[in-house]
Amino acid sequence: MNTEAFARLWRTHNNDLSQTAQAYLLEDMMTTLKQRRDRQNLFFLLMTAILGTITFVAGYDMIKNDSLDPAREWAVLLMLAAPWAALLLMRRRFNRHLNAFPNTEGTLPDTLRVMADENRAARTQALILLVMMVIFPVITGFALWQLMLVGKMELAHVQQAALLFGGALGASALWQVIRYVRVLKPEGARLKALLQDYQS
């Protein structure tokens, strides 16, 4: 509990407990929503920087050394494109949320509606990531197989890469499932119930 904020609101509302509690709850919800939006924007910024660096380095090597035969190694290009597609889909869903609710300030029911839509956006983004984590191992498998066929990788290296990618993707997918089931879905249900109570 933020005692400084509560004390400030207590004085603002002339020591009225009911008004102070409602104002404190509303301010806390708006602060939480702003923090989530800031974290989401930071996530997109970091992922864009990481994917941009990987794409630039890989593309530079392919062009400079003419090291890729698209007809025989097309899965490598899919490996580069798939994360971008997932990121763009997530960004598009987040932008729809921002366009629908550009402001975080309002009444308690208004703020609940904003948080409910933010929760729906977060669930959609989690599902996009999960689908990506299902598809990406297939693309990676094709890419490794093609690299082995053209003599750029040996079987031992393919096995090591498969274990590395598989372990990382498996851990990420497990985390997304836990986050969706234990955090996002219950939060969405609670927000929906609260909105129905206000509307009834």
* 151-191 tens-digit pLDDT: 887 888 778 877 887 788 888 889 999 999 999 999 999 99
Q: Cβ–Cβ contacts within 10 Å for residue 114, how many?
A: 23
Does residue 144 contact residue 158 with C-beta atoms inside 8 Å?
yes
Q: 84-88, 116-120, 173-177, 184-188: lowest mean pLDDT where? A: 173-177
Q: Quick one: pLDDT at residue 10? A: 52
Supply angle C-alpha 169, 40, 193, rounded to 5.
95
77 falls in which pLDDT band (50, 70, 90)?
very high
